[in-house]
Structure 1
Amino acid sequence: MVIGAIDSAQSSIRMMAYSFTAMDIMQALVKAKNRGVDVKIVIDERGNRNDVSHRAMKYIVKNEIPLRVDSDFPIQHDKVMIIDERSVQTGSFNYTKAAESKNSENAVVIWNMPQLAKPYLEHWEDRWNRGEDYK
């Protein structure tokens, strides 16, 4: 479902992530960027201090996707994608291998509801503006 949502994007993806390690999701984001989708990601600083997260973050930045790290809150626990400013993917699903294969998780995509996507996008923009570029 998550990769399907990424693959559906035509113009933009805005992602907020607490934990960020699933390589197939990273690859889908890079593919989206390479087909002309404007992809930007903001992640929690504390949830991504491990080596696996840093490898994923370096892969994203190496592929020229803007990535910011948010340390402004004790935990930035969002797990959301806003797709084309009209669809929202959200749920308990962290963007990790464990979420994909081991954990009990939920994810939902609400398609073609720009009135719902708007407050999510505003929330994303606030977190983006509070974040710092990952280098």
Structure 2
Amino acid sequence: MPFQKTLIAFAFLSIFSSKADAFDFFRNHDGEDAPRAKEVKIESRAIVAFSPNGEATNVIVDAIRKARSQILVQAYSFSSKPILAALAQAKDRGVDVEVIADKSNDRGKYSGATYMKNHGVPVWIDDSVHIAHNKVMIFDGRSVLTGSFNFSAAAQKSNAENILLVEDSPELAAVYARDWKWRQSLSRKFE
């Protein structure tokens, strides 16, 4: 039970940078489409990884390679060559890959958003908030990766970061997919 409570709190806080942000969000929105805290009972396998110089990027790339039907991505920093390449390869093998990125990815011909777009991956820019600080991947409607780890080389080599991959939890994936779709509805297509 303590693990479940911790996971619920982690899922909620991964959507918001702080409790103050959450309170501001709910106070300033009508709530019709806003994600609400939701308890999800989980009986599944979880993989945790840390950085710097840990296995976080490898865990992410491995999860991308295992995906068979869909990968939904929400990214703040989005520049890790191994992660970008794995997502492009997933698209090439027929996986539906879609990305929502922070507005900081909207510039430069070498941005992660540009790389994904050039590989046929639909990309949306979430500029409806000050920072779209999510770091989430949803795999095949069954597994969720989240944590503090930005999808960047700095997160792997220089920063103290973490990821949590919860596998085979369609209920948790559905909660994250709902938030992904909501953020997509507030974002603009990257051209």
Bucket of the pairwise TM-score, normalised by the shorter protein? over 0.9
The 8 Å contact of residues 106 and 190 in structure 2, kept in 1 or not, is answered as no
Alpha-carbon distance in 1 for matches of 2:176, 2:148: 16
AA in 2 matched with 1:122: R
Residue 108 (1) aligns with residue 164 (2): yes
Are 1:27 and 2:27 counterparts? no
TM-score by length of 2: 0.67
Which of 34, 52, 57 pairs up with 2:113?
A: 57
Over aligned residues, Cα RMSD in angstroms?
1.4
- Mapped pair 1:48 → 2:48: no
Q: Deviations over 1:2-49 (max 9, x none)?
A: 11111110100000011111111110000001111000000111x335
Q: Which amino acid aligns with 1:123?
A: D
Alignment deviations for residues 44-67 of structure 1 (CA, whole Å, 9 cap, x no partner): 11x335648x43221111111000
Q: Which structure carries more relative contact order (alpha carbon 8 Å, separation 6+)?
A: 1
Letter in 2 for 1:124: W
Q: How many pairs align?
A: 133
Q: CA deviation at 1:81?
A: 0.3
Consecutive unaligned residues of structure 2, counting only runs of 5 or more, are 1-58
Q: Hey, which bits of structure 1, 4+ residues long, moved more than 2 A?
A: 47-52
For 2:140 and 2:106, the matched residues in 1 are separated by: 30
Tell me the distance in 1 between the aligned counterparts of 2:113 and 2:181: 19
Matches of residues 47-126 of structure 1 in structure 2 within 5 Å? 47-48=104-105, 51=108, 54-126=110-182
Q: Name the CA distance, whole Å, in 2 between partners of 1:115 and 1:127.
A: 19
Aligned to 1:18: 76
* Deviation per residue, 1:75-95 (Å, 9 max, x gap): 111100000001000000001
Which is worse superposed, 103-112 or 56-65? 56-65
For the pair shown, the structure with the greater C-alpha radius of gyration is 2
